Amino acid sequence: MDLRPYLNRWVMIGTLSFAGILLLITLIVIGWTSPRFSPDVGFAPADLTMIPAPTHTPNVTVAPTNDPLVTPTLDPSSINVNGYVQITGTEGEGLRIRSAPGLNTETVFRGEEAEVFVVQDGPQSADGYTWWYLVAPYDETRAGWAAADFLAVVPSP
């Protein structure tokens, strides 16, 4: 197919003229419909949420009671269920955490020196030791029984 008859001077001038007219129309429409920029904005109200300041709560002194239904306060220096303990006294060797209380039960994993656990169950006595069921607060799969001789109470985080 021969396109030379369609690519003459008049066709090119007409095409460029048509494209120029479309461009001019586009610029005019954009100019009329676009918002005008105003350098003097003036006052612009803003949404503001007021958060009241905290109020002072007076200290209340609770009078001690001798209610027999109230459970006694647990000693913070002894191991208790829901308390936190840390492995200590292993000289860097770590502590074998077992599947059940006792020295002959399966070792589930080795707890590292200074690793912190939450006490979930216990105490139970076996093989001359007091055993507590521990769970790592960051990984519930690290759980098992440990001898109390290698645990130290730490404050809860």
Per-domain residue ranges of the chain = 4-33, 84-154
First vs last Cα of the chain: how many Å apart? 85
* The model scores a pTM over 0.75: no
Confidence of residue 73 (pLDDT cuts 50, 70, 90): low
More confident residue, 3 or 10: 10
CATH code 2.30.30.40 for 84-154 = yes
H/E stretch holding 98? strand 95-98
pLDDT tens per residue across span 5-52: 777 888 889 999 999 999 999 888 887 676 666 666 566 666 777 777
Residue range 47-70: average pLDDT? 68
d(CA 92, CA 112): 7
Reference 153, options 72, 109, 87, 101; nearest CA is: 87
Tell me the pairing of strands 139-147 and 129-136. antiparallel
Please state the rounded mean pLDDT for residues 143-149. 94
Which residues face 116 on adjacent strands? Answer: 86
